[in-house]
Amino acid sequence: MEDNKSSRWRPAWTLLLLLLFVALTVTDEYSKLTSDSPVYFTWNQEFSGMSNQGGPDPFDLEFTGEPGEFEFEGLALAVAGEAAQVALGVTEANMLDRDADEGSPDGTETGSVLLALAEEEPSAPEVKPVVLTHIVESGQTLWDIARFYGIDIDTVVAANELNDPQRLQVGQRLTILTVKGALHTVGAGDNLWDIARAYQVKTQDIVDANQLADPSALKIGQRLVIPGAQAVAAQRYQLVGGNGQLRRAFAWPTKGRVSSRFGSRWGRMHYGLDLAVPTGTPVRAAADGRVTWSGSRGTYGNLVIVDHGSHVETRYAHNSRLAVKAGDRVQRGQIIAYSGNTGRSTGPHVHFEIRHRGKAVDPEKYLIR
């Protein structure tokens, strides 16, 4: 009879013990959640990429609240699986150990990207080259090319010395400056000061644009970017082109009737251009340069010679009076003498010569009309 009674109560005791065990387990888990020990979260990358729904940035979370609130420190991003995971009680050290042991599903060394990695300094921006080469394609116009590189047409025209900007050929190679300005080819006798003055820019701007370690050591044929220079004006006044040829870029020394041209005259070679003007008419420099001679010189009479660099010089003869001396630097249009009838001359006039590499050339081919 006693055995029947205890067997009747056994299920009840068993149920009671089971309920007690469950209650203790829940209490223990709750105490863990409300303890002061830090709680660490890992976020699946899929969820971390979702749009921001407001509130503070997860990377900025570092709150320590009153007892009973969560303490967020050591927030980490994990790329460990497809589904979202929220793991409680996982430390950074455990995360690193687990990643090192298990590896990542995608075959990389680790599947977790810790917050510390997110705080790495951004890489430096890519430096855009200053000079590029563009190959003309079918249907492209100069306007299209200039707009693509964010510069003006004048910059392209000047850099390539285009005589007819409307006529481009497929396959033609164009030098492109990625900044507005001009491209200068260093000639013999050129120095940075003269170049900067000719283009009316600061020498330091040229040094910076070309990253010149030694501004005094320019090389003949070296190409310099002249930032901010007026491209059309720069091209107009560049005496020698990138191909080494003389350009039509000289100013007239004075205004007057052409009395004698370059070439054979009276059985002799006439090496200049004669302009008939009254005595005392101002004679002006045809381009920027340095005076290498100012004085009487044989059949030239009172002569001024100006060296323009790049093996180019101009001569102004038969003057009545000289306004400069050897060593002076002169600018285009500056008065350097006054016309006259000195030396071998049949009347008041200005004898004007252009010489390139020591050889006299026809001035009329290189004077700006």
| Alpha carbon distance 266, 286 (integer Å) | 28
Can you give the pLDDT at residue 321?
Answer: 97
The average pLDDT across 93-121 equals: 45
Q: Kindly tell me if the per-residue pLDDT of 51 is higher than 50.
A: no
Among residues 312, 317, 316, the alpha carbon closest in space to that of 355 is found at: 312
Strands of the chain, DSSP E: 42-44, 76-78, 112-113, 131-135, 173-177, 181-185, 223-227, 257-260, 263-265, 268-270, 273-276, 282-284, 289-296, 302-309, 312-322, 329-330, 335-339, 349-356, 359-361
User: Is the pTM here over 0.75, yes or no?
Assistant: no
**Class of CATH domain 257-365:** mainly beta
Residue 367's identity, in one-letter code, is L
Structure tokens of 252?
């007239």
Ranges for all domains in the chain classified under CATH 2.70.70.10: 257-365
Residue 65's identity, in one-letter code, is G
- The CATH code of the domain at 131-236 is 3.10.350.10
Can you give the pLDDT at residue 250?
Answer: 93
Ranges for all domains in the chain classified under CATH 3.10.350.10: 131-236
Total residue length of the chain:
369
| Alpha carbon distance 278, 349 (integer Å) | 7
Q: Determine the angle formed by the axes of helices 192-199 and 203-210, rounding to 10 degrees.
A: 110
Task: Report the percent of the chain where pLDDT is more than 70.
Answer: 63
Identify the residue whose tokens are 């820019």.
201
Which of helix, strand or coil describes residue 24? helix
| Alpha carbon distance 263, 256 (integer Å) | 19
The average pLDDT across 21-27 equals: 65
Structure tokens of 28?
């223990």
DSSP state, residue 250: B
How many Cβ atoms sit within 10 Å of the Cβ of residue 342?
A: 19
Minimum mean pLDDT among 199-208, 284-293, 319-328: which range?
199-208
How many Cβ atoms sit within 10 Å of the Cβ of residue 319?
A: 28
Choice between 124 and 306, residue whose per-residue pLDDT is larger: 306
Residue 128's identity, in one-letter code, is K
